[in-house]
Structure 1
């Protein structure tokens, strides 16, 4: 075997070209990330000084929070006293946006946040694009009050339910069963004016816990939609009070509606009040 010939042959391949360093990596093409606009953008994002890296990290965190707020859970600032004492002005509740995404429907007793356009608000107030964007971003992390068309109320009746106020003891009755609403604001009555409604399928009858200070389904019976909130307009269920720290708590569904029977299929649909509110 001609060993010298083999060594000479090997040397012809391994001898570097003058003025050029070669390595094993140079025998393979550079990864796609290192080429073109994508590569330049990646190098810009990952390079630079501490301020740039901090800015990129902040932007990534903000994007994550906004995505989480849009899809999973969103802080909601309580703007009025209509849900006292359950919720107080300035409380930040965490709205579970997945609560009704997988076949679950709003149930009696749930505290829900919804878009009142078409039910509580017929003509949504106009807002310029820049202001609307700032409000949306700030409210998505609980720094500003929600849009004027967003409301938070308690579900009292669901599709098919007949909701009547009031019985001889001044209580609301749902499907003929009187409900003792222990969550009402101290001293409040269930309603000062009687009403008798049947909730259409796919709709909700909602009321505030502070009945004397709440504009809710009762106040919109004579308007288009009859004060009934479409389930499709529900943004999510308020499951927790997250702020202030002293009010941290889970918002559990009350037992008040546990004995309410299913609605009577022959009750009809739609609703009419027996008096104004």
Structure 2
């Protein structure tokens, strides 16, 4: 009897080097095992790496942000995806008048509350980080009108906002909107911002929190980043640059901002 031939032709599943469980899985699911070890496994690994890379990029560098409301029209429309530069204020620079910023409104626009189920919060955070879902209800996008030390008043006899005594013409306002129907006269504390929406008649912003603790001032430490670019839809692709409307405004110390 040719014993060498017998050894060569025997079932690989009977290989003594494999454990009983491994031999059983291979025998019952040979096709699945082959796919997992082939192109499907490589595609899955590549997809996982891409997602991890995008999440890291979104967390540290630039994050897509889905615009959920019309409070910043016509600058930003509902459904726009803006790219938020998270490094804009990380190296000594600070938000400037006219910048469009995304910030965490807890403690200024909304109360500090329990954020709910951790797993659900994590899933929503991943979707928001990739620009696939609406941001958290505590995240807002507004335009900086006043920075630390600024004296902001509304309004002068022509209905314009004044910053440090200088009237500001605001070309970005929604057509037909006035700078504000709510009068205010505030001094922005150091380390905070006074922010308003461009669609003033539809924006819930700092004016709505004048009587609250903190007066609607947003701590600079709560700023997530600066909105720099509308990335989607493609027909809306354009820069969201800071406005030159504040070029003539002097800083509280006397210099120009």
Smaller-chain TM-score range?
A: 0.7 to 0.9
1:173 Cα deviation from its structure 2 partner: 0.2
Partner of 1:51: 40
Supply the distance in 2 between the matched residues of 1:96 and 1:244 (Cα, whole angstroms). 18
Aligned ranges for residues 98-109 of structure 1 at < 5 Å?
98-109=87-98
Q: 1:118 aligns with which of 100, 104, 107?
A: 107
Shift of 1:264: 5.0
SS in 2 for 1:189: coil
Q: Which residue of 1 aligns with 2:239?
A: 250
Name the counterpart of 1:170.
159
1:66 paired with 2:64, answer no
Task: Indicate the residue corresponding to 2:139 in structure 1.
Answer: 150
Q: Which structure 1 residue ranges, 5 or more long, are not aligned?
A: 1-46, 266-277
What secondary structure sits across from 1:236 in the alignment? strand
The two structures have a TM-score, normalised by structure 2, of: 0.83
Q: CA RMSD for the aligned pairs?
A: 1.2
Contact 2:115 2:121 in 1 (8 A): no
Aligned to 1:193: 182
2:65 aligned residue:
76
Give the TM-score, by structure 1 length: 0.77
Compare CA radii of gyration and give the structure with the larger one: 1
- The equivalent of 1:204 in structure 2 is 193
CA contact (8 A) 1:161 1:264 kept: no
2:81 paired with 1:92: yes
Match of 2:8? Answer: none
1:236-275 alignment runs, 5 A limit: 236-264=225-253
- Report deviation, 1:118: 0.3
Q: Which consecutive aligned stretches of 4+ in structure 1 deviate over 3 angstroms post-superposition?
A: 123-126
CA contact (8 A) 1:217 1:228 kept: yes
Task: Kindly state the Cα deviation for residue 221 of structure 1 after the two structures are TM-superposed.
Answer: 1.1
Structure 1 residue 55 displacement after superposition:
0.7
Give the Å deviation of 1:52. Answer: 0.6
Equivalent residues, number: 219
Cα deviations by residue, 1:49-71 (Å, 9 ceiling, x for unpaired): 11111111111111000000000
